[in-house]
Structure 1
Amino acid sequence: MAPLTIAIDGPAAAGKGTLAKRLAAHYALPYLDTGLLYRAVGRRAAERGIDLDDPQATGEVARALDAGEIDEASLRGREAGELASRVAAHPPVRAALVAFQKAFAADPRGAVLDGRDIGTVICPQARVKIFVTASPQVRARRRTEELSAKGRAVDYERILAEVRERDARDAGRLEAPLKPASDAALLDTSEMDIETAFRAACDLVDRALDAERRA
């Protein structure tokens, strides 16, 4: 039987990263937050004064990216997320990082990857695909509370507008737009806390594996 590869997709602040980490630990699988790759490219390009709307220049940054140099803590902020969304629209950036992600997903032990096109582009043959979502209002509230807890002054309405803008940009891009894979299970976390969402995600994985065994 093929290694257990779990593809987790969804928009920002839906909870997919937290779920993916916990699923990786639960099933003892390597984990990759693919959004960090795009954040690292956006941050590095910005630091070097590179035009974020230049596909070729940002593509060169992506091809030179060393995953070992990625500092997760410094890439978690809203600014890095916005930079990532801009560079992710460029085909040269995507080509470089898609190759990296596919190599990671080919791990013979299996893997858990989360992002926005894992089930549709990176791992279309993944044994389990979950599209994690939540309403824009809930996601904006979560992001507002997260930033407030870090002592930052934030405005909910501004965060909500940014969430909707980013959703539109991610869903409307020509290259690998954000959308569920046709065979992905949908998990709406709008009314769930993290424990409830984690149990629901485990149920989806276990049911998929049980279905394979019965087939």
Structure 2
Amino acid sequence: MSKKITIAIDGFSSTGKSTVAKQLAKALEYIYVDSGAMYRAVTLFAMQNGLISNDSFDKANLVKQLKDITISFEYNPVKGVAEVYLNGINVESDIRTLEVSNFVSHIAEISEVRKKLVEQQQQFGKNKGVVMDGRDIGTVVFPDAELKIFMTASAETRAQRRFEELKTKGDSANFSSVLKNIQKRDSIDTNRDDSPLAQAEDAILFDNSNLSVEQQFEALLQLAKEAILKIS
């Protein structure tokens, strides 16, 4: 399998996109880019600088300060994964909180934010051999990707997965608040004016509600191998 492809994985929040994207990238020796982490990093910046809260959202000033935001991924050899850096500071843990989750869809609605991040994402994948997950990877970032997956699962299933993940990290969130957050994000993601979450016409719909992490990985790895063989 000498030739490389671009793998675009889109879908609703907490469907396990990042988990399987990392697995595929490792198995295929591809670059993995977590586009959602980039939006979370911008969200964290907005929170840290008093630009967004439960009571207010200063979009104009955020847009003005986009030039001051630098997002990068650095490989952590101990953990074996690439971690997110915001202006040179490791924010991998900080961006995964429920508080950031509550605001990230609002940040992702802003056209200027999306434009800045899409341009950077396209640079990451210009040489192919990349697995990227997000909300508009197959429709906007890589419309010509050789393999597009659209992942879905019931809101309750996704909320339970997210709840368990947060508990493992010591977060005090409760199930009802996590479910409410997921339902709210689904609504915002699918109804925003700029690049709404939607399944690309040539994407494969993949419902993992009743699949284990390993079963999901094996199924998508097979799809990836088949897509690679088509161009080899």
Q: Which TM-score applies when normalising by structure 2? A: 0.85
Structure having the larger proportion of residues in helix: 1
Query: CA separation in 1, counterparts of 2:64 and 2:41?
Result: 13
Query: CA separation in 2, counterparts of 1:183 and 1:29?
Result: 22
Task: Look up the SS of the partner of 2:139 in the other structure.
Answer: helix
Task: Look up the SS of the partner of 2:194 in the other structure.
Answer: coil
Indicate whether 1:67 and 2:86 are aligned. Answer: no
Query: CA separation in 1, counterparts of 2:4 and 2:226?
Result: 16
1:84-108 deviation line (CA, Å, top 9, x unaligned): 21111011111111111111121x2
Match of 2:75 in 1: none
Instruction: Give the count of matched residue pairs.
Output: 212
Instruction: Report the AA paired with residue 197 of structure 1.
Output: Q
Query: CA separation in 2, counterparts of 1:78 and 1:46?
Result: 13
Determine if contact 1:58/1:87 at 8 Å carries over to the other structure: no
Structure having the larger proportion of residues in strand: 2
Task: Look up the SS of the partner of 1:36 in the other structure.
Answer: helix
Query: How far 1:189 moved relative to its partner?
Result: 0.9
Q: Which blocks of at least 5 consecutive residues in structure 2 are unaligned?
A: 73-84
Instruction: Report the AA paired with residue 93 of structure 2.
Output: A
1:168-194 deviation line (CA, Å, top 9, x unaligned): 010000000011111011111100110
Which of 211, 216, 221 in structure 2 is aligned with 1:202?
221
Instruction: Report the AA paired with residue 64 of structure 2.
Output: E
Match of 2:133 in 1: 114
Which of 87, 90, 97 in structure 1 is aligned with 2:110?
90
Q: Which blocks of at least 5 consecutive residues in structure 1 are unaligned?
A: none
1:9-33 deviation line (CA, Å, top 9, x unaligned): 1111100000001111111111110
Instruction: Report the AA paired with residue 126 of structure 1.
Output: A
Q: Which TM-score applies when normalising by structure 1? A: 0.91
State percent identity of aligned pairs: 37
Match of 1:11 in 2: 12
Query: CA separation in 2, counterparts of 1:152 and 1:79?
Result: 11
1:20-67 deviation line (CA, Å, top 9, x unaligned): 011111111111101111111111111111247444322234333212
Determine if contact 2:21/2:133 at 8 Å carries over to the other structure: yes
Determine if contact 1:62/1:97 at 8 Å carries over to the other structure: no
Determine if contact 2:98/2:173 at 8 Å carries over to the other structure: no
Query: How far 1:109 moved relative to its partner?
Result: 4.8
Which of 79, 86, 89 in structure 1 is aligned with 2:99?
79
Instruction: Report the AA paired with residue 144 of structure 1.
Output: F
